[in-house]
Amino acid sequence: MASCEMYRTIKGISESNDLPKDYFDKYRSQISNFEHILSQLTFMERQVIEHDFIRRVDSN
């Protein structure tokens, strides 16, 4: 789930003031695609992914 890692990283540090404003522009289409894919999932599928995502984040 490299996309989850990328998404978490970008969302987590995109608000940092010490990065240039356009730093994440190259990832915007990938983030949009990822968010679109998540929006198409059923509730149960999202629960499974979120649980796995939280577990991965907590383990790092």
Closest CA to 10 of 20, 23, 50, 40: 23
pLDDT at 23 over 80: no
Higher pLDDT among residues 14 and 53, named by residue: 53
Taking the model in full, what pTM does it have?
Answer: 0.35
Q: Where are the domains of the chain?
A: 2-59
Segment 35-60, tens digit of pLDDT:
888 788 888 887 888 788 778 777 76
Query: What's at 34, amino acid-wise?
Result: F
Closest CA to 27 of 12, 43, 42: 12
Mean pLDDT for the chain overall: 73
Please classify residue 60 by burial: count the beta carbons closer than 10 Å to its beta carbon, then call 0-12 exposed, 13-18 middle and 19+ buried: exposed
